[in-house]
């Protein structure tokens, strides 16, 4: 695969490209891969790192949208459940089933309120009883029947439910149990989509930390953070900037008012008792204000989310103290026999959901569906601009396919392949089942010489791309001082092969070192030294990178670095 600089230089040399995608979050990356696979030359650009905005701040769920039944978005539920099932097949290295428990505190509440919401009321039911939940889960199973890979729902009585999870509030009358899915490395999945696109099309290129400076007479001018400015003349532009869509459209000469933001914050707790009680299940429950919250085991920590507050500044978003208290109160009420406090927080994060502009006063009732409005060319702008409005993690592939078909039609081309059964990154050839995994590990050991236990760890972390890392470097046994699950050659491989520009890229997106709570200041200095050698940083630049990450993690992510 040609280098990043080589691809950009070749593209800038001709100045010609079929499509420019502005924004490399999950929707932009998904579209990039799809178009590259169809033979369309693409440039995908992000002003920050790939997958570093909204796409790095989800609940880390791949879900079918059970709560969207309440607002009558049945088409979205149908698409979401299908895409969830496809992701379980196409990205099995990162996406896995998640048994989910709904605690129920009444039998009949919420039925009339749900009917009012279904027919246009702007207030959601404050409580959802067993009858309503049973009906909802039955409908959910129906929509999830295509490419089904998980069991159907079931209802469990109070005595049995408390027997399996005695920490639950004893006021429950029953629980509903159904299956959704979770994603372990969402930021890496974004990167893998981009790498897949680059592998599929040698005429395409990707650039992070690159800003759109001007748009004039059909020419887009970009300035990389490190590197020379360049310009391209696209046939079509896709605005995938998420919460920044309206700002980008202004720069493109296609002013819009398409986006309203709502803020979602999450906290991760070091709470071994809770994690054991969850037993790899998620609790999906109502907070006191009727909002749906959740808690589940993520990398051995309890992930609690999320808030839903109207907000419009994605550049200044963080988990605020009142949100922390809201989330802690929600689990205190649900699990009264356990203790929850701020000292248990090891990480927090927050992001802006880029939802379609709406007059709805209740954030939870703003549609989570997606659309792709087009600003047609005009005398000052010879290319059309397609804006990717809304959307969510689970439906990125389907959304990308819809938009790719529009792009292909405008370019007078036809689809060559479908992405419906196309594995993503390290999901290609991923071993299904214990026997296949054992065979793969034995093969990888013969290829790399590493012990099977270490290869198993890398397989879970990178999918089948793990063998590339296992073959890299001379001594995998040289590990980070504290996060000993990561080797120094592994970090060096990431720096040299995965578009790393800053230290934060490594610890916050290419790995789970920060969010998993294992990162220490000693390790941070070691990682910075590795990156500095690979990227030619000066001693001053290395120190500045360390200081920036410490400030971000301690202030923005509530992390205490030892």
The mean per-residue pLDDT over the stretch 519-542 comes to 97
Helix, strand, coil percentages in the chain from 3-state DSSP, rounded to 5? 40, 20, 35
Of 266, 310, 318, 242, which Cα lies nearest the Cα of 60?
266
CA of residue 309 relative to chain centroid, distance? 19
Mean pLDDT of 188-194: 98
Confidence of residue 18 (pLDDT cuts 50, 70, 90): very high
Alpha helix locations (H) across 55-171? Answer: 74-90, 111-118, 130-143, 158-164
95-104 vs 174-183, strand pairing mode: antiparallel
Would you identify the CATH topology of the domain 430-556?
Helicase, Ruva Protein; domain 3 (1.10.8)
pLDDT value at residue 117: 56
- Confidence tier at 310 by pLDDT (50, 70, 90): confident
Q: For residue 233, with 0-12 CB atoms within 10 Å meaning exposed, 13-18 middle and 19 or more buried, which class applies?
A: middle
Residue 213 has pLDDT above 90, yes or no: yes
Question: Domain 4-54+187-258+369-410 is in which class?
Answer: alpha beta
Where are the CATH 3.50.50.60 domain residues in the chain? 4-54+187-258+369-410
* 260-356: CATH, from 3.90.550.10, 3.30.9.10, 3.30.70.270, 3.40.50.2000: 3.30.9.10
Residue ranges, CATH 1.10.8.870, the chain: 430-556
Q: What is the pLDDT of residue 367?
A: 65
Give the pLDDT of residue 356.
76
Where does the chain hold its CATH 3.30.9.10 domain(s)?
260-356
User: Is this prediction's pTM over 0.75?
Assistant: yes
Q: What percent of the chain has pLDDT over 70?
A: 94
Asked if residues 238 and 22 have their Cβ atoms less than 8 Å apart, the reply is yes
């Amino acid at each position: 695969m040609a280098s990043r600089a080589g691809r950009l230089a070749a593209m800038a040399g001709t100045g010609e490209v079929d499509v420019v995608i502005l924004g490399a979050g999950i929707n932009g990356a998904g579209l990039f891969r799809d178009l590259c696979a169809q033979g369309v030359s693409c440039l995908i650009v992000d002003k920050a790192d790939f997958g570093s905005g909204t796409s790095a701040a989800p609940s880390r769920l791949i879900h079918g949208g059970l709560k969207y039944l309440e607002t009558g978005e049945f088409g979205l539920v149908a698409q979401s459940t299908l895409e969830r099932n496809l992701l379980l097949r196409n990205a099995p290295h990162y996406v896995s089933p998640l048994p989910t428990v709904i605690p129920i505190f009444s039998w009949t509440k919420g039925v009339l309120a749900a009917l009012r919401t279904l027919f246009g009321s702007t207030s959601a039911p404050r409580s959802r009883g067993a009858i309503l939940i049973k009906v909802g889960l039955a409908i959910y199973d129906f929509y999830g029947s295509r490419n089904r890979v998980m069991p159907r729902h079931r209802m469990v009585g109070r005595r049995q439910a408390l027997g399996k999870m005695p920490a639950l509030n004893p006021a429950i009358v029953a629980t509903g149990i159904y299956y959704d899915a979770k994603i372990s490395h969402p930021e890496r999945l974004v990167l893998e989509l981009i790498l897949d696109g680059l592998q599929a099309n040698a005429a395409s290129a990707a650039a992070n930390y690159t800003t759109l400076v001007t748009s004039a007479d059909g020419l887009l001018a970009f300035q990389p953070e490190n590197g020379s400015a360049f310009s391209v003349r696209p046939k079509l532009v896709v605005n995938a900037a998420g919460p920044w869509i309206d700002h980008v459209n202004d720069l493109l000469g296609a002013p819009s008012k398409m986006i309203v933001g709502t803020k979602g914050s999450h906290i991760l707790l070091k709470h071994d008792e809770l994690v054991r009680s969850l037993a790899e299940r998620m609790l999906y429950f109502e907070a006191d204000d009727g909002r749906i919250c959740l808690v589940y085991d993520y990398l051995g920590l309890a992930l609690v989310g999320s808030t839903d507050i109207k907000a419009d500044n994605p550049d200044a978003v963080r988990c605020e103290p009142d949100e922390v208290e809201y989330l802690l109160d929600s689990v205190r009420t649900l699990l009264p026999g356990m203790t929850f406090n701020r000292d248990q927080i090891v990480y927090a994060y927050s992001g802006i959901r880029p939802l379609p502009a709406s007059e709805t006063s209740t954030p939870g009732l703003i549609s989570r569906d997606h659309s792709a409005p087009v600003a047609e060319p005009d005398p000052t702008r010879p290319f059309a601009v397609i804006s990717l409005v809304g959307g969510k993690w689970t439906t990125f592939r389907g959304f990308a396919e819809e938009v790719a078909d529009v792009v292909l039609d405008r370019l007078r081309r036809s689809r060559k392949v479908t992405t419906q059964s196309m594995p993503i990154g390290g999901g290609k050839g991923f071993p299904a089942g214990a026997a296949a995994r054992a065979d793969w590990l034995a093969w990888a050991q013969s290829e790399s010489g590493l012990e099977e236990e270490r290869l198993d760890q890398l397989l879970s972390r990178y999918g089948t791309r793990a063998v590339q890392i296992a073959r890299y470097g001379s001594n995998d046994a040289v590990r980070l001082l504290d996060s000993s699950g990561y080797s120094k050659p592994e970090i060096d491989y990431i720096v040299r092969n995965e578009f790393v520009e800053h230290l934060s890229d490594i610890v916050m997106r290419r790995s789970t070192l920060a969010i998993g709570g294992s990162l220490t200041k000693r390790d941070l200095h070691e990682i910075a030294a590795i990156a500095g050698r690979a990227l030619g940083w000066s001693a001053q630049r290395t120190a500045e990178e360390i200081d920036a990450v410490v400030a971000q993690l301690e202030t923005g992510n509530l992390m205490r670095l030892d």
